[in-house]
Amino acid sequence: MAKKRKSNRPNRPGPKPAATTPTPAVIPVVPEPMMATQGPVREPVFWFGFEVTWTKLVVARFAIFALLAIDAFLAIRHAPRYGAGDFNVGQLGFLGDLGPGRIGYGVGQLALTYLFAMIACGVATRVLVPLGAAIYAWLYFGSQLDSYQHHYLVALILVIASLVPWQRPAGSDPAAPVRTWAVRLLLVQLAIVYLWAAISKLDGAWLDGSTLAKQMTGKVGALITSTIGMKVAALLVIGVELALAATVWSRRTWRIALPLGLVFHASIAATGLEIGLFAFLMLGFYVLVVPDRIWVALLRGIHAPLDRLAAPSWIAWGIGFVAAIGIARFVRVEHAFVVAIAASAVPLVVAIHALVRGRGPAAFVGLAHVLAIALWLLLDRTSDVAVDYYRFWGGSQRRLGNPEVAERAYRRLVAIAPDEEVGHYQLGRILLQQNRGDEGLAELHAAQHLEPMRARAYIAEARYLQQQGKTAEAIEKAKQATYAEPANPDARTLLDSLSAPGGARPPADDSE
């Protein structure tokens, strides 16, 4: 029996609707060979007859890739662990030698942030999505350092996303359906994840609620305990995962999957578990589960301005090109400027491609380029990524016995964040260990100024003075340490040992 169809949809099989308005301003990007919008539906219809509207694809593209862009930038803080101590283990044994080092990982994540932002804006998706997938796969499969299921899922999703026709041709009907077997595959992939996640919980330690009780702490844990109890909650989780596995891939059951999935993942996000943006990313995928007509109704007015941005404009392109490089100068992450210069190749190639076709580059290409670089700056200045990067780099190199490298990291930390006391404190300690007293004490004094209520910088100075035989000055500094942080046991012990008759041997410097 033939299915009832929405009135705004063409009958299938048959050609999809052509653009409803003339399209002189075609977006100068790589064409979409995966966009099967013509001809009868091939078998099996389950895959090759799957359709979503352009509007939904555009919203999903923006939601998913914007989240991935943010996630990629936040991952930069992990770069110092890559290659540290010349040790690495790949996801598969033979991949260990191919894994990224600190610079490779940092540059790779910065490049991914840029690429995902450009994809979110709809620039050259046929090329940039596979490129992003390849870089992500290298970073993920090259090392087990960040090997959560989240990273594995993103790697797979990016491979599938490489086959999705993400770009709506300018002027085409936003409500027109586009056939895309890859989106069906993406939903089936999610269903498989839910299925196995449920199977993994068919274990006594999950079913009795004890595992969940250890994972759910804080307010959410207390709320569950005081209402339905952990055992019931644990069973509910399995039930929800199985229900989502059965419903998320089929249009007919989206009305079940949508509320269930949104509540489920929003609840996980609310728990505050340290899973990065995983819960939000899963919420992003539910854009695909929201009925198409809702997106079309909500965003009816947005396509006309988007189409105007698709008009060729060398001026907009040029302004974006130059402004992006200017913005990149203010990004504090290592190698950001170099990566920005390299990233300029994207709008450049798009412009050359357009030129070869006898057009100019679309205005939105320049705009997307500058937005992508501006996203770096925004995330840099609103997060601790750059500070953490240098702090973690310095800390790991210090512990691994490379004080010269640690000094370089802490000097950079002090340069980009002069108000961060940890940079001054650690740099001071390293300099004192190298007998560079004046420089080291200056850094410790800066730390004391920035954190007057903490004893550690005073203790470090007192120990150094003691080693120099300046006992009276050391006692004075130890006293200041106890004033700064009266409850600090190290400060009290140091003062006692220095004040003891006959002096004292310098205690071990184990402060962090």
Partner 1 sequence: MKQALSPIASIVTLARTWQGVVILVIVATQLLLPLHYYTVRRDPHDERFAWRMFSPMRMTRCTSQFTVNDAPVPLGGAFHEAWIEIASRGRFMVIEEMAAKLCNDRPGSSVRVKLTCTYVDGDQREYGGYDMCKVPRL
**95: Cβ–Cβ under 8 A, 6 or more apart, which residues?**
141, 142
Kindly state the smallest distance separating residue 404's Cβ from partner 1, in Å.
16
Query: Which helix (H) or strand (E) covers residue 178, if one does?
Result: strand 177-179
CA torsion sign for 287, 288, 291, 295 is positive
Check residue 502 for interaction with partner 1 (CB under 8 A): no
For partner 1, the closer CB: 80 or 361:
80
Kindly state the smallest distance separating residue 400's Cβ from partner 1, in Å.
7
Check residue 50 for interaction with partner 1 (CB under 8 A): no
Site string for partner 1, 378-397 (x = CB under 8 A): ------------------x-
* Residue 28 contacts residue 362 (beta carbons within 8 Å): yes
Residue count at the site for partner 1 (CB under 8 A)? 52
Distance between CA atoms of residues 186 and 384, nearest Å = 33
Secondary structure (DSSP) of 84-107: GGG----SSGGGGGG---HHHHHH
212-271 positions binding partner 1, by CB under 8 A: 212, 214-215, 237
Dihedral Cα 184, 190, 191, 196, nearest 10 deg: 150
Check residue 145 for interaction with partner 1 (CB under 8 A): yes
Check residue 33 for interaction with partner 1 (CB under 8 A): no
Check residue 288 for interaction with partner 1 (CB under 8 A): no
Instruction: Note the Cα 512 to chain centre separation in Å.
Output: 29
Q: Judged by CB under 8 A, which of 269, 400, 441, 504 binds partner 1?
A: 400
Q: Judged by CB under 8 A, which of 54, 181, 264, 317 binds partner 1?
A: 181
For partner 1, the closer CB: 149 or 468:
149
**Local structure of 152: helix, strand or coil:** helix
Q: Judged by CB under 8 A, which of 203, 239, 345, 357 binds partner 1?
A: 203
Check residue 22 for interaction with partner 1 (CB under 8 A): no
Secondary structure (DSSP) of 245-304: HHHTT-GGGHHHHHHHHHHHHHHHHHHT-S-TTHHHHHHHHGGGTS-HHHHHHHTTTTHH
Kindly state the smallest distance separating residue 327's Cβ from partner 1, in Å.
32
Q: Tell me which stretch binds partner 1 (CB under 8 A): 68-76, 209-217, 220-228, 368-376.
A: 209-217
Q: Tell me which stretch binds partner 1 (CB under 8 A): 181-189, 404-412, 413-421, 481-489.
A: 181-189
Q: Judged by CB under 8 A, which of 74, 193, 343, 372 binds partner 1?
A: 193
Backbone angles phi, psi at 124, to 5 degrees: 45, 50
For partner 1, the closer CB: 163 or 266:
163
Question: Which residue in 94, 72, 193 sits closest to 143, CA to CA?
Answer: 94
Instruction: Characterize 250-282 residue by residue with b for buried, 16 or more Cβ atoms within 10 angstroms of its Cβ, and e for exposed.
Output: eeebbebbbebbeebbeebbebeeebbbbbbbb
For partner 1, the closer CB: 255 or 399:
399
Check residue 20 for interaction with partner 1 (CB under 8 A): no
Looking at residue 33, the DSSP 8-state letter turns out to be: T
Check residue 5 for interaction with partner 1 (CB under 8 A): no
Backbone angles phi, psi at 95, to 5 degrees: -90, -10
Q: Judged by CB under 8 A, which of 19, 30, 95, 152 binds partner 1?
A: 152
Q: Tell me which stretch binds partner 1 (CB under 8 A): 22-30, 131-139, 159-167, 406-414.
A: 159-167
User: Which amino acid, 131?
Assistant: L
Dihedral Cα 61, 56, 281, 138, nearest 10 deg: -30
Site residues (vs partner 1, CB under 8 A): 1-2, 42-48, 78, 81, 84-85, 87, 89, 91, 93, 96, 144-145, 147, 149, 152, 156, 159-160, 163, 181, 185, 188-189, 192-193, 196-197, 199-201, 203-206, 210-212, 214-215, 237, 396, 399-401
